[in-house]
Each structure stands twice: as C-alpha cells, then as structure tokens.
Amino acid sequence: MANTPNAGYWLIVLNLQREEGLQPLADETDEAVRSWKQQNPGQKIEDHLYEFISTAELPLLTSTIRETLRYATSVMSIRRVTEPVEFAGYRFDRDDEIICMTRSVHLDEEIHENASEYDPRRYMKQRKFSKNGKIVTNHSIPWGGGVSMCEGRSVNFIDLRVAGKFG
C-alpha cells in the first residue's frame, strides 16, 4: 500500500494549489451524503460507510483520484524472464531482469493530452485513451501489474472492519 498514503497527500496538496482548492470535492461529497440520507432516513451513514462509498455517485472525486495516481505515482515493476524472448527489437535471455517504468506511460503526451499538467477532471472528459490510433488499455498503472500487481490489493475496507481496525 505504498502509493496510497502518497496519493492521499498529493490529492490534497495538488488541489490546494488550484484556485478552487478542495471545495468542488467537498461540495460533491456533501451532495452525495445528503442524497444517501434522503434515501435512507433514520440510518447512520457511519453504519453503512462501505455501501455508501461503493454506490455513491462521485464522478469528480473518482476522476481526481485517478488523475492524482496518474500524475503523482511512479511504480517500478521488476520481472524475471523465464524463457528467451525477443521483444521490440531486444533479446532477453532466461533470468534477465526487466524493469518496467510506468511513469513514462503516465506522462506520454501521445496518450494523455497535456500530460505534465494536473487536471482533476481529466477522467470525466475522456474515458478511452489511445496512441497511434490504438486504444491503450493500461494508460494508467499506478499499482504495477502482472501476477503480483499491488501488494495491498487483497486488503479491503470490510477485511479491516472485521479485523477490528475500523468501526
């Protein structure tokens, strides 16, 4: 979960540097909470937090999180070659190690328009990203990839509640 605290920090810092600050995110969240309370009278949102988070309509927050991860994270995935292979004009032998730098994809101007700029609404405007006329499915890889992906991916909020960490 190495990127999670950093992403939270950068989300706050990057948005505080913008003229509107965190206000649009607070407004969207407040509206989602009001809507949930209207639909669930007499219930405490704290008792249904996971349900609220997983069902609330929060497009700006979702886009802001995705953009923060694209803009501020740098993951290196190290892979070991299991069989000799030639890829992109390079020859790799068994037991060679390849380091995949996702940051270069995150800042590729051919994939992300104005890639060096932080745009919290980027993922509200654009759903598919392409390069050379082909869709780039892994245009943002803040957690790495492959069989190990993010080491913290299997821990979720419900697991933490059951373990007595929250609630």
Taking the mean position of all CA atoms in its chain, how far away is CA 165? 23
The Cβ-side half-sphere exposure at 62, using a 13 Å CA radius, reads: 13
Please compute the mean of the pLDDT values over residues 60-75 and round it to a whole number.
89
Q: Which residue has the tokens 């969207």?
A: 28
120, 63 contact by CB (below 8 A): yes
Measure the CA–CA gap between 13 and 7, rounded to whole angstroms: 10
pTM for the whole thing?
0.73
The predicted-structure confidence for 110-162, as pLDDT tens digits, reads as follows: 888 999 999 999 999 877 888 888 888 777 766 555 555 554 455 444 444 44
Task: Please classify residue 73 by burial: count the beta carbons closer than 10 Å to its beta carbon, then call 0-12 exposed, 13-18 middle and 19+ buried.
Answer: buried
The predicted-structure confidence for 10-28, as pLDDT tens digits, reads as follows: 999 999 999 999 999 999 9
Beta-carbon count within 10 A of 5 CB: 9
